[in-house]
Amino acid sequence: MQETILIAAFYKFIPLPDYRELRDPLLARCRAAGLRGTILLAEEGINATIAGQRRSVEDLLRYLRSDRRFDDLDIKESYHTRMPFQRMKVRLKREIVAMKVPGIDPNQRVGTYVEPRDWNRLIAQDDVLLIDARNDYEVQIGAFENAINPGADSFHELPGYLSAHLDPATHRRVAMYCTGGIRCEKASAYLLQLGFEEVYHLRGGILRYLEEVEPSASLWRGECFVFDERVSLDHGLQKGEIVICDDCKAMVKQAGEKCPRCGSSNIL
């Protein structure tokens, strides 16, 4: 079946003192265009994944970019055979990605962005400590070689791990990555506040890396978890083999297997 649904993921840390006023017009436009997904708005910026027909997605992006604050949004695109979301939500939040650490502002200072084409060379260096900024269940289905898994159940647990296990005097060069870039961007700001001097993060995250780096040159192993019906993506951003147990919601390696957690054969 031809893949006709465009999934567009984007975020931007940008001061939005009027973020509450942006919600209703944005939601109305999304619904009128038949889009589904989630857009988070906060005083620190915007974080979104939306899906629909290409023309509808592009119309919404033009609307956003008519506001100069969003004119340089970096969009990560992928496709699916059907709509991967149930409804359209535009939510107001304290943070567009919840770290729950006061005073962290990526609008003021963040780590050094590294393009996907330069990522392999950076993380192959012996003095670079590579940190996966995602949750443990995401790491279990795919990660970069030799990356440290903090074992977090949610992003707001990551700062505790970083402050307890990393030392600016010992770990002079730290590289971080996440799915789309937003979590490691904020985590890089946190490390800089702790006194780390060389902090790097993968621009566009795993999604951009899987899109731009050839599989033969890739240091990625496994699949990349995504927060929608597709569950995971492989190289080229095609739907992966990971599926979800309908009984306990555990991830299963592929359809047809029994759930390793509850033993169910009721696999989505």
- Set 178, 184, 224, 245: catalytic member: 178
Q: Pick the closest to residue 35 from 51, 14, 24 (CA basis).
A: 51
Cα(158)–Cα(126) distance, integer angstroms = 23
Q: What token pair was written down for 87?
A: 């409804």
Cα(123)–Cα(219) distance, integer angstroms = 9
At CB < 8 A and 24+ separation, what contacts does 34-37 make? 35/60, 35/88, 36/83, 36/85, 36/86, 36/87, 36/88, 37/7, 37/85, 37/88, 37/89, 37/228
178 catalytically annotated: yes
Q: Pick the closest to residue 158 from 98, 203, 231 (CA basis).
A: 98
Q: What token pair was written down for 170?
A: 């010992």
Q: What token pair was written down for 59?
A: 């119309």
Cα(231)–Cα(85) distance, integer angstroms = 11
Cα(35)–Cα(51) distance, integer angstroms = 6
Cα(166)–Cα(148) distance, integer angstroms = 11
* Interior/surface letters 201-235, b for 16+ CB within 10 angstroms, e for the rest: bbbbbbbbbbbebeeeebbbeebbbbebbbbbbbb
Indicate which residues carry an active-site annotation.
Answer: 178
